[in-house]
A and B are shown apart, each in its own frame.
Chain A
Amino acid sequence: MSGVASFRWLQSLRLGPDLVTPGVQNEAELARMEEALFGPINLAGADVIEVGAWNGAFSLAAKRRGAARVLATDHLAWTLPGSDAKAATEFAAQASGLAIETRVMDPRGFGKYFGQFHVVVATEFFTQLFNPIAALKGLRAITSRLLLIETIQDGMEESRPVMMAHNLPTAYGATVAGWAPNPEAVKHMLQELGFDRIFHRDHPTAGRGRGLYAALLRDTPDEALTGFVAPWRSLTHPG
């Protein structure tokens, strides 16, 4: 499809049997991430929002897995001067025949007025945020059941909750100030924000340098927990 070449791709998305967008993140890595994030849960009929969607790989995956409504959002990657990442996402959705919504949204701006979603997905979360605490509050405000976070990690040698600051280059060319927490910090921040059960696992391809978190609110049905088996481990209810 000639339209693919008119965009710069951050993610390699399969749009057809012989058509994959030439993204910085390759298809196999994204497939492993998708399975790590969504494998433990049933998305059928769920309302899902992706925060920091880039080209919408996980939004499209959520729709394929049966989500009723999927809203892909991004801020930095969709608003940097010259960025065509949002248009590329919309092109990919149309080419895939998957009906997802798109919206430019800064996670710090989320409030309950925005509505709530059963599942909130935020990848590269702490990595590119000057104030991840405000953004976490925003994610909490729009989560009705489950929050999934993927992030760079640091301070792993510390037993205490710590969050280290970084200036990191991004796939779209900018260097941004961001953070890298350790699992204890993520656990305690999420607990303070009202999450009850919090699971953690290492990243499926990057290992301990990155981590995945699943945080569930208290009234989430118990059956939603059953998929979080090894390599997931509970940070809040060990054993």
Chain B
Amino acid sequence: MDLPKTPLSNSALLNRIKQFYWFHSIPLRPGITTYGAKTEEILAQEEQAIMSGIDFQGRTVLDVGAWNGYFSFSAKRHGAARVLATDSFTWTEPKFRGQEAFELARAELGLDIESLLIDPTKITPELGSFDIVMFLGVLYHLFDPIDVLQRVRAVTGQLLLVETHQDLADRTQPGMVFYPGAILNNDPTNWWGPNPALMLHLLQALGFARILYRHYPHPPGTPLNRGIYACLTPEADPAIIAGLGPEWRELDAPGVIPTLAAEVRR
């Protein structure tokens, strides 16, 4: 889709914004923010939890499942040298028109970010190797999450960041729950809920040398049903995660999986 060459007036920009369904609330101009299903406050908390302490400076970044691009934009603002935003389902689903929405936000923000329409099930090493791969909110939407984990591993040079819904997290035995139909959140695109023990098992089997975990920034009193993983390849520069805070735990350290399970049970 060709974008207008001259800047849109505020009213024209608002009209364009209204043409799309927005998942991310992205401030585009003073007083003009996209009407995302995820609020600015929630996104700021997620950005803090996922990206704070990661050294993006000068790194190459792949965003798998970028949707409206909030985290791609954030990676660029954190100093990434190159960012490739990718998506397929939300970019091509007529209800979402996510690629057009992403392109509107990218043009408005003036950020030098590449984009590629590619489904995660089609990612191969030909895509290249990226210092940091962001795989946020995608894993549980895949009928075959193991295949796609293998694929994103193949394009991860140093650090894979995974954010996912999880289940059975009160158990120490690795496993995952299957959600047929629209059982999970009335959403037929939700397929699997793994637990942290399983993520450790899979990520180690895929050759990650260190796997750190932190809980998603759940509001107090809500179920701990999402988790965030920072997975380092054997070749990773340790400085890339040097800034991570104490909320991150080495997942294979003695007692960590039982402790997490106990925290979820509470």
Which A residues have a C-beta under 8 Å from some C-beta of B?
A: 130-131, 133-134, 137, 154-155, 158, 160-165, 177, 184-185, 188-189, 191-192
Contact = CB atoms under 8 A, between A and B. Distances in A.
- Among B150, B173, B175, B201, the one with the most A-chain Cβ atoms within 10 Å of its Cβ is B175
Contacts of B168: 162
B244 interface: no
A189 B178 contact: yes
Interface stretch (B17-25, B39-47, B139-147): B139-147
Interface string B195-211: 00010011001000000
Interface of B is mostly: mixed
Given A161-B177, A165-B175, A188-B180, A177 B201 contact: yes
- The contact size tier of chain B is 10 to 19
B176 interface: yes
B137 interface: no
B227 to A, nearest CB: 16
A189 B176 CA distance: 13
16 contacts: A133-B147, A134-B146, A160-B177, A161-B178, A161-B179, A162-B175, A162-B177, A162-B178, A163-B176, A163-B178, A164-B175, A165-B174, A165-B175, A165-B202, A184-B178, A191-B180
Nearest to A136: B144
A209 B143 CA distance: 26
A134 B147 contact: yes
Contacts of B179: 161
B205 A131 contact: no
Nearest to B176: A163
B175 A155 contact: yes
A164 B173 contact: yes
A177 B174 CA distance: 12
A160 B177 CA distance: 7
B177 A133 contact: no
Nearest to B145: A133
Nearest to B179: A161
Give the residue among B146, B178, B198 with the most A Cβ atoms within 10 A: B178
A131 B177 contact: no
A192 B176 CA distance: 17
Contacts of B174: 164-165
A133 B173 contact: no
Contacts of A158: 177
A107 B177 CA distance: 23
Contacts of A154: 175
Interface string B165-183: 0001000011111111000
B180 A161 contact: yes
B175 A131 contact: no
A192 B205 contact: no
A131 B146 contact: yes
A155 B168 CA distance: 11
Nearest to A164: B175
A188 B198 CA distance: 20
A107 to B, nearest CB: 13
